[in-house]
Amino acid sequence: MTSGSLARRGFTLVELLISLIVSAIIGTALVRMVLSQARFMDQQEAWREARSVSRGGINRLLSDLRSVEVSNGLVAAAAGGQDFTIRVPYAFGVLCGAAANVYTVSLLPVDATMFAEPGYSGFALRNPNGTYGWHASNTLDLVGTAVLCQNALYDSIHTLPTLNGSPAGRVVNLTRNTAAIFPVPVRGSIVYLYRNVRYEFKASVAIPGRTGLWRTMVSSGNTEELAAPFDATARVNFYNLDVTPAQSAVPATLGNVHGLELLLNGMSERTPSGSAAPKTANMTTSVFFENRPD
């Protein structure tokens, strides 16, 4: 005879169905969690991309704008605040003397690579009243008249030599236009060389169909796209004299502009999952020019 109580082996059909249902429920929950995490990470990556665009633009802008002199440092600006040109100093020195329209200047040491970049636009001479007079000049002679820096009646102006491998100073000659009104040269006055640099928010080449920030050397025409893409609201506003907040309209007198408010609203390159449009990171900061009287 067989025993009435056989040893139970395996699963019944009902138990198998129940286990499949439970597994499906747990699997659905896990898939939802994974999709939610992936969507969250995609959103965070898009925000990171947008912020990196803003930071990429602001780093280059700040390096130029922080050295701009307040009086007539802004050369041109277009309505809308998406196109402006500034005078950016890149080498400073002391006036040794002038012969006719040629000014001899002893320059302080400066980074050789930066100095050699094309785009020299002119020079500025500090007046006795503390303001600068500018002159657009395309003539920069790197071999200056060093003898003018030596004077038997006054203390000589020394050009700094190479020290511990650091770049040396140099004597250069700067030629100006005889028709231009220029301050009377005073030996020992501060002089600096500048480049006219144009910044524009315009169509990007790196990311077609989007807006990029461009930097152009006006004299040489060398241009580069610094960062992209930016939102259509990216622009600059203008601090007119000591009035706050910054105004969006370009002041009638550019010499009254004492600083710029930068609205660098960067965007992500793509639209993240779960969003209808690329992410935008709003970044606003202000830069005031050098030697503000107020």
Measured from the Cβ of residue 115, the count of other Cβ atoms closer than 10 Å reads 16
At residue 139, φ and ψ (nearest 5 deg) are -110, 110
- Rounded Cα distance, 97 and 150, in Å: 10
CB 99 within 8 A of CB 145: yes
pLDDT: which is higher, 25 or 246 = 246
Please report, as a single letter, which amino acid is at residue 88.
V
- Which of 194, 289, 175 lies closest to 239 in space, CA to CA? 289
Task: Give the tens place of pLDDT for each residue, 108-138.
Answer: 998 888 888 888 999 988 888 777 888 887 6
CB 85 within 8 A of CB 77: yes
- Rounded Cα distance, 81 and 98, in Å: 39
CB 258 within 8 A of CB 243: no
Max CA pair span of the chain: 137
* Percentage of the chain lying above the pLDDT 90 cut: 34
CB 282 within 8 A of CB 267: no
Measured from the Cβ of residue 207, the count of other Cβ atoms closer than 10 Å reads 16
Task: Give the tens place of pLDDT for each residue, 145-185.
Answer: 888 888 756 678 888 777 666 678 899 999 887 666 666 77
| CA quadruple 85, 86, 90, 96: dihedral sign | positive
- Which of 268, 266, 292, 279 lies closest to 61 in space, CA to CA? 266
- Rounded Cα distance, 229 and 233, in Å: 12
Task: Give the tens place of pLDDT for each residue, 194-244.
Answer: 999 999 999 999 999 999 999 999 988 899 999 999 999 999 999 998 888
- Give domain limits for the chain: 50-288
Tokens read off for 26: 């747990």
Task: Give the tens place of pLDDT for each residue, 42-62.
Answer: 777 777 887 888 787 788 888
- Which of 227, 200, 219, 201 lies closest to 117 in space, CA to CA? 219
Measured from the Cβ of residue 72, the count of other Cβ atoms closer than 10 Å reads 19
Q: Residue 292: is its pLDDT beyond 80?
A: no
Res 252: pLDDT = 92
CB 135 within 8 A of CB 105: no
Tokens read off for 91: 């080498």
- Which of 169, 187, 13 lies closest to 91 in space, CA to CA? 169
